[in-house]
Structure 1
Amino acid sequence: MKIVAEPLSVLRSRTSYKWQTYPADVLPLFVAEMDYPLAEPVQQAIIARVLASDTGYIAGPEPVAQAFAGYAGRTWGWQVDPGDIRTTTDVSVAIVECLRQTVPVDGSVVITPPVYPPFYELPPEAEATVVEVPLLLTGTGWRLDLPALERAFARGADAMLLCNPHNPLGLVHSAETLRALADLSAKYGVAVISDEIHAPLTYDSEAFTPYLSVSEAAREFGICVTAASKAWNIAGTKCAVMVGSSDRTRLQLDSMPEEVSARTSILGLHASVAAYDDGGPWLAGVLDSLATNRELLAELLSAHLPEVIYRPPAAGYLAWLDFRGLGWGGDPAAIALEQGQVALEPGLKFGRHGTGFARLNFACSPEVLTEAVTRLAAVQARPAVGPLEP
């Protein structure tokens, strides 16, 4: 059964970043928060801990380790040893702490733009530099540029941040591609930190392949970082998991300061356990709603803004939109906001390859999505002398 997005009157009472950043006349379709009510098992897990005054420090990762291992096995056939799992506050912190263990000071980290904007910031936080190896856009869609990655690895890269599924494209890397990447990783001794936070939001569950499941080479040098936060909309509860399945990566996880684990929220831990153990029906309903919106967006753009190029994502609720055909300049999100009162995530945040693009969050009601595209179409329809200016 579909999960229905809450009405704007309720959503505007939320105090999260999505709903407090812009005035009430702006439709906020930028940051990756969903407009659906929380899954009841997650709600009840948090309420139960609060009613028990159980809001101290976590005793250890065991509850969520068991829950995640069970979910991974049921969903992807990935057999994870719960003993290989550690926790921390969120995926960004997990990435930084993994880089600190795998990359020397002044080392280098490969990223594949256009990519989640913090990927530009997290390596410097770990005292490393960023090396860009852009994704390739082919006639059949986006993919990793394996020859270019090999060149970067051969030049001495120490690690790679893999986004799987890839934000903002919703690209689900194939098992074949991941095996090839793992072979390169092993050949050159490059650590791969695989951010798999969007994995539960894959529309065809059989299409997603966990990186550590593809080969011994992947397990030798790879670490998975993920969380229930994106799929179950609980980013504010603060709990992420890190998986290392080789002697090398277990040692790296165990070499982290004790505080890395201690920063995990006890409410986030129990919310995540509830999500992985009992949140499946809710997630199925959300995916049903998202699938409808994914197609609705295609229909709306085709009818009202056919110049905008949109490739429906294979995972997630983020649409990467190419506005270059409209003549809105390098930052179409600025025009969408200032002239259409629709807040999109600027493509420029995802690297220089995002020039002329913007990311739209369609985890909202069909009515809000329709209104957003209607507003953007109205901007384009206005008489203008010369190109539109933000």
Structure 2
Amino acid sequence: MNGIVRFRERDDAPASDTYKWNDPPEGTIGASVADMDVHIAPPVASALHDAVHRSSTGYVKSHMRGVADSIADWHGRRFGQPVDPSLIRFAPNVVNGLIQAATVLNPARKRLIMNTPVYYPFFEVANEVEMAQVRVSMVEDDGRWLLDLDRMDAEAADGGIILLCNPHNPTGAVPTRAELEGVADIARRHGNPIISDEIHAPLTYPGHTFVPFSEVAPDLADRLFTVTSTSKSFNLPGVKFAWLIAGSPELAAGVDDLPVMLTYGTSSFGPAATVAATSQGDPWLDELVERLTERRDRLGELLAERLPRTRWLAPEATFLAWLDFRGYDLPEEPAAVLKGHGVDLSPGVIFGEEGRGHARLNFGCSAQTLELMVDRIATALEG
């Protein structure tokens, strides 16, 4: 390792003003909010300092060719994904981008088909665009979380947009090419538009391969949006910058025609941070994935040693662990119990009914913080 990735410790002052560190009660380890305890990549830090020095604090257009060029080059380099820069549009965050995409696609049957448990803002996206939530449960098979293609097919026959989380949050599953081809076949058969949230793609672990949905279904480009950002992979959620990749010029024009207040809100620091991350951040990102792999593997060891009744499937991507605490006789949801013992996890039930008895743990932290977190959980549950 090059040693360019630095994790923060809990007493590190720069972290104290973030929601993850500041919202839970004092002394509680924040492991619910999905950002990492890591100092940002040096090229990104330099770019942000330079933007402040230049007083680059004005409004941002929804498309800037130089920024889009850097993003498109990055997609090609990291994922082998050809992207036309002219089809990229900016958004303040991925959830806003999903709302923009759903508004443009706007099928006659207003249904949003999603795979639960799932990143809970997906439910709010459906509410915002006034679409019914159609929840299709993930299935566990042979040590992996899989898409239930049969159920998706049955639901898609009644119309609606298929909203993918690829890689999947909270399970950490990376759908295989065969699974995504199955989704594409469903969409072809029933005429469904598709939105693919691919924000966690850069954090795919060795032994697994992220496949952009656009790669398996180029013939569906006229009804496909990809939405993503560097906010997870480079720990930049506060920079407020994401992007949509429209599958066709017509879809890109549809975004351009949206009401300004729907597309407004991208940070003036977003372009500088994103260009630096996508053009100079590869060595840092490669090392980050190595470090997160270590954290994930150590978490697995700690669970086996200290929390043997906790079930999990090691995530194939993301810095998030989906933990099943149903082996314990708890009086209430695990996150509520553990918050009283100094660990703040995401309640599983907010991701869907499948999450009852579960919680999501963020292991994007220092080794010391991870050890302390598991120690507190084990003390609470095992005594």
Alignment of 1:151-166 (within 5 A): 151-156=154-159, 158-166=160-168
Structure 1 residue 47: deviation in Å? 1.1
Aligned pairs for 1:10-89 within 5 A: 10-11=12-13, 13-59=15-61, 60-89=63-92
Are 2:149 and 1:146 aligned? yes
Q: What pairs with 1:1-390 in structure 2 (closer than 5 Å)?
A: 1-2=2-3, 3-11=5-13, 13-59=15-61, 60-104=63-107, 107-156=110-159, 158-204=160-206, 207-329=209-331, 331-338=333-340, 340-382=341-383
CA contact (8 A) 1:12 1:19 kept: no
Gaps in structure 2 of 5+ consecutive residues: none
Q: Which amino acid aligns with 1:202?
A: T
**How many Å separate the matches in 1 of 2:283 and 2:220?**
31
Are the aligned partners of 1:186 and 1:217 in contact in 2 as well (CA < 8 Å)? no
Deviation per residue, 1:244-274 (Å, 9 max, x gap): 1235533433332345454321201211111
The TM-score with structure 2 as length reference comes to: 0.95
- Counterpart Cα distance in 2 of 1:29 and 1:141: 23
1:200-221 deviation per Cα after TM superposition (whole angstroms, max 9, x unaligned): 1111397001111112234232
- 1:76–1:205 contact (8 Å) kept in structure 2: no
- 2:270 partner letter: G
Q: Which shifted more, 98-107 or 192-201?
A: 98-107
In 1, are the aligned partners of 2:199 and 2:230 still within 8 Å (CA)? yes
Distance 1:369 1:324 in 2: 22
What is the root-mean-square deviation of aligned Cα atoms in Å?
Answer: 1.7
| Deviations, residues 222-258 of structure 1 (Å, cap 9, x unaligned) | 1100001111011011111101123553343333234
1:325 aligned counterpart, secondary structure = coil
Pairwise CA distance, 1:372: 0.9
Secondary structure of the structure 1 residue equivalent to 2:137: coil
Code of the residue aligned with 1:250 in structure 2: it is A
1:359 is aligned with what amino acid?
R
- Counterpart-to-counterpart distance in 2, 1:240 and 1:230: 10
- CA spacing shift, 1:11–1:117, aligned 2, 3 Å: farther
Tell me how far apart the structure 2 counterparts of residues 288 and 247 of structure 1 sit (CA, whole Å): 38
Q: For 2:327, what is the secondary structure of its paired residue?
A: helix
| Deviation, structure 1 residue 328 | 2.1
Q: In structure 2, what residue type is equivalent to 1:152?
A: E
The 3-state SS of whatever aligns with 1:372 is: helix
Q: 1:230 & 1:201 partners in 2: Cα distance? A: 8
**Retained in 1: the 8 A contact 2:21–2:29?**
no
> Is the Cα contact below 8 Å between 1:179 and 1:218 reproduced in 2?
no
- Structure 1: distance between partners of 2:149 and 2:351: 20
CA distance in 1, matches of 2:85, 2:248: 13
TM-score (norm. length: structure 1)? 0.93
Calculate percent identity across the aligned residue pairs: 36
Q: 1-side partners of 2:226 and 2:43: how far apart? A: 26
The gaps in structure 1 that reach 5 residues or longer are: 383-390
Give the whole-Å Cα distance in 2 for the aligned partners of 1:11 and 1:306: 35
Q: Which residue does 1:387 correspond to in 2?
A: none
Alpha-carbon displacement from aligned partner over 1:291-334 (angstroms, at most 9, x marks no partner): 11101101111111111012111111000001011222551111
Determine the C-alpha separation between the residues in 2 that align with 1:349 and 1:206. 27
The alpha-carbon distance between structure 1 residues 341 and 85, as it changes in their structure 2 partners (threshold 3 A), is same
Deviation larger for 14-23 or 224-233: 14-23
1:44-64 per-position Cα deviation (integer Å, ceiling 9, x unaligned) = 111111111111012433232
- Partner Cα separation in structure 2 for residue 330 and residue 202 of structure 1: 33
Deviation at 1:195, TM superposition (A): 0.4
SS, match of residue 269 in structure 2: helix
Q: Deviations over 1:308-364 (max 9, x none)?
A: 0121111110000010112225511111111x2111100011000001000000011
How many Å separate the matches in 2 of 1:359 and 1:11? 25
8 A Cα contact 1:111 1:133, kept in partner:
yes
| Structure 1 residue 42, shift from structure 2 partner | 0.7
Distance, in Å, in 2 between the alignment partners of 1:221 and 1:205 is 31
2:307 maps to a residue whose letter is L
SS at match of 2:199: coil
